[in-house]
Amino acid sequence: MSDKAWGGRFARDTDRGLAAFARSLPLDRRLWPYDLALSAAHVRMLAHRGILSQADADALLTGLVDLERAFAAGEVELPEEGEDIHLAIESLLFARIGEVAGRLHTGRSRNDQVATDLHLYLRDAAHRQSAALTDLLGALWERSRQALEQGVVVPGYTHTQRAQPVLLAHLWLAHFDALERDRGRLADLVRRANRSPLGAAALAGSPHPLDAVLTARLLGFDGPYDNSLDAVADRDFLVEYLSFAALCGVHLSRMADEAILWTTAEFGFAALEDDAAFGSSLMPQKKNPEAFEHVRARAGRLTGVLAGFLATLKGLPLAYNSDLQESHHALYTAADTLDGMLAAVRRLLEALVVQPERMAQAASDPLMLATDAADLLVRRGVPFRTAHRQVGELVAEAAARGVGLGELAADVVAAHAPALTPADLARLTAQGAVAARATHGGTAPARVAEALERARARLAPPPLPPPPPRAADVAHTPLPLEEVSR
């Protein structure tokens, strides 16, 4: 007979190679805090409903809390060939409290158990990453404030070509807004996912008089799933998290790519402090922004995880299938990768030393004022398409002569744009172009100051469901909880 927890049906043990191939313990060992907490909630509920005696419940809770302490102290060695974290914990409980450990699994399945663990893990990651995003947003806000105070102007780009001058503060706030939306998406998805699968058992519910509302409340969920099949099969919450992580990674990558360009000799808009840069084993002069390059690359990892997990889910019938074990790979890879990216970008933002003089020099490129020349013609009654063509011709003349627009001779200007003079063109400046963009959301100093105040009001993180409780906390929560007493 097989010695597995489910071995009664089998005459022989599982092939070792296949068992190793299917084993999830190397990955899901990190779920131990959540598995212990949900087990404590399950025990409290079983005792409250009279399914377990109080003596058995007390023994189980004592064992679970002792295991939590031992895990936290690094005193637990998980079996090398253990199947998963759930059976490993059950085995450890047997070693501590004996046969009563066999009552822990009453009324539940590893199907609803692992789904609940993943919900709790996600809530924990959300608290951590919301805090990291809040810290990064605070740093971006402060850089925006300083840049506005200094009036730093930088070229704005389209197609990686100089387009129009903008305030550096305006650029920082653009990154702020993108990441603030990411933080909001994280809060939204976690609030939507704050439902407990526990009580669904394998897929159909349980014949025992379980109280899924009670276990949900003990674990900080808003309530249980309404459908037992959905409870064990649903991984939408992970897809939403992976989507958030991928998009947040893309936004971090765009920041990184911008910084990589800025720190080149060709741009010279910024430099990295020595402790945030890397060197070359061959070329002594090199100072490479490699950490930014890793950020840029790992955004690809996040988008790949999302695409791969969607491909895993697309053909699965209800309810549980072992394909869902890929949830672990996807979730942990995404969470670990994003944790690292957020920490790296926060440090790199601190180490990025902007060069305002070089930015101002680039922003003073007279050709970037061509749009302002066209707008001046429009204010003088010239149709915009005509103004666009006339100024385009002036730009071509200036480029051919190697001069700025304001340096063109009067006859040249008159030949192409009769409503303009060289003096008109000479009066156009980057600061003036910035100040003129005073529409809502524009780069004019007054508008950016308003945007900075709006951003300040959004610095505080949105509310999240509570962090997952510890088993020790669950074990001592007074019962019955007022709203779930039946």
CA angle 302, 253, 441 (to 5 degrees): 120
d(CA 102, CA 473): 23
Q: Which of 159, 281, 322, 440 is catalytic?
A: 159
The reply to whether 280 belongs to the active site is yes
d(CA 463, CA 184): 10
d(CA 154, CA 165): 6
Are the CB atoms for 308 and 258 separated by under 8 Å?
no
Are the CB atoms for 371 and 379 separated by under 8 Å?
no
Residue type, 103: R
Structure tokens at 317: 């019938």
Q: Which of 2, 280, 476, 485 is catalytic?
A: 280
- Nearest CA-CA partner of 193 in 241, 255, 141: 241
d(CA 461, CA 424): 49
d(CA 198, CA 210): 10
Query: Distance of CA 67 to CAs 2, 421, 482, Å?
Result: 27, 83, 29
Are the CB atoms for 133 and 125 separated by under 8 Å?
no
Query: Distance of CA 250 to CAs 143, 180, 255, 431, 469, Å?
Result: 21, 14, 9, 31, 32
Which phi and psi (to 5°) does residue 155 adopt?
-65, 135
d(CA 30, CA 119): 13
Which phi and psi (to 5°) does residue 169 adopt?
-60, -35
* Residue owning tokens 């004592």: 62
The reply to whether 159 belongs to the active site is yes
Residues annotated as catalytic are 159, 280
